Amino acid sequence: MREAYYESGGAAIYCGDCRAVMAEMPAASVQCCVRDANGRFVKGHRYNPATEFKKGQHWRPAQPFRNREWLVREYVEKKRTAAEIAAAFGVTANAIHYWMHKHGIRGRSMSEIRAARHWALTGAANGMHGRRGAKNPAWRGGITPERQAFYQSADWKAACRAVWRRDDATCQDCGIRKTKGQTQQFHIHHIVSFAVVALRADVSNLILLCADCHHRRHRKGSTA
């Protein structure tokens, strides 16, 4: 038996044994909220064989990347990236990684990624080899003409020769000395910023550093 103790606008609340009450309802006719004996509400709808999901079914449309064999073929054998696969199906790379993890498919290490994508090539094998100035895609037409003109001036070249003699071709930070056949580069560093025009070619404001020490000084906040 069932007893309606609240009804309004076509909605009703019934009190009774859910098995008896729901048995009287037409299949797929209503949506309902069932409360168990402990007072907890359980959302659901009247059972309808036509809409019941079978084991293994899902409301989402089937996608190839959820299949282990497909992922192994595309990711492992064909060397496609997770991002490439994701873009083909309009999902995120994280979705592809989720299914890889679920199927126990190991992702690539950085060395494997570089080997597959041909990164970090050196010499002529590198596509950017020799592409300086206007040949470089990052070229902006020489946006620092004042600095470039100064570094080509006779005053700067004379100052550089004086610094090399004074510092004995030795990095003033780490002590490494420039020798024949050595590949380490050396730079002339401005102690006071290049922006101070009066000190740009002042030998007392210049110091010889190896490239590593020069970069290290700039990372510490130097502006020259």
Is the pTM higher than 0.75? The answer reads: no
How does DSSP assign 169-219, residue by residue? TB-TTT--B--TT----EEEEESS-TT-GGGTT-GGGEEEEEHHHHHHHHH
Strand 11-16 relative to strand 2-8, pairing: antiparallel
**103 compared with 182, residue with greater pLDDT:** 103
Q: What is the largest CA-CA distance in the chain?
A: 107
Q: DSSP assignment, residue 95?
A: H
* pLDDT tens-digit readout, 92-147: 999 999 999 999 999 988 778 777 665 556 777 777 777 777 777 766 565 567 78
